[in-house]
Amino acid sequence: MRIVTLDGPGGAILRRRARPVGRLTPEVVRLMDEMVEVMRRASGVGLAAPQVGYSLRVIVVEYDNKLYQLVDPEITSREGEEVAQEGCLSLPGILCDVRRATRVTVRGKNRRGRTVTVRADGWLARIFQHEVDHLDGILITDRVESPADIHYVDRERAVGEVVG
């Protein structure tokens, strides 16, 4: 399993709305586990299934020593607002200044198929918004308010600030 980049083979998947999963299967649970490994190897904090070539509404997020694996996630509420810099594993070498909510509530199914609700603040809220955007075919470059908010950097420098 590899990370799909916008300019690489299969990059068009990043621009499509991912399909709902519905009923959880062992294959989807296996996909989530593999996504966690890929995310960790890439030093990311989040990853969406389209980023590894699967048009499914599945995300994994790991922040502050807590792992979230969600199927069919949706953001049900947003509060506050701030601009901060984000990177993306599918857009290596690019950092963008992106306006996002500072608090979100996310609802989805966990790896056991149970509906869960996550309330997230700050950076964790930003990560969830970034990953759910991937499920809708939205990239950080789509969220900038001005072309000046897109910063091109070398890939090594961008690694520490990559969301997913």
The letter for the amino acid at 15 is R
Amino acid at position 70, single letter: L
Averaged confidence pLDDT in the chain: 93
Distance from the Cα of residue 164 to its chain's centroid: 5
Q: Does 82 qualify as catalytic in the annotation?
A: no
What is the rounded distance in angstroms from the CA atom of residue 49 to the CA atom of residue 3? 10
Predicted local confidence at residue 159, as pLDDT = 46
Catalytic entry in 34, 79, 81, 131 = 131
- Check if the beta carbon of residue 150 is closer than 8 Å to that of residue 94: yes
Quick one: CATH architecture of 11-161? Alpha-Beta Complex (3.90)
Give residue 140's pLDDT. 97
Asked whether residue 164 carries a pLDDT value surpassing 80, the answer given is no
**What predicted TM-score, i.e. pTM, was given to this entire model?**
0.92
Instruction: Give the tens place of pLDDT for each residue, 85-109.
Output: 999 999 999 999 999 999 999 999 9
Those residues with Cβ within 8 angstroms of residue 4's Cβ, 6 or more apart along the chain or in another chain: 10, 11, 13, 14, 50, 51, 52, 53, 90
**Mean pLDDT (whole number) for 142-152:** 94
Residue 162 reports pLDDT greater than 60: no
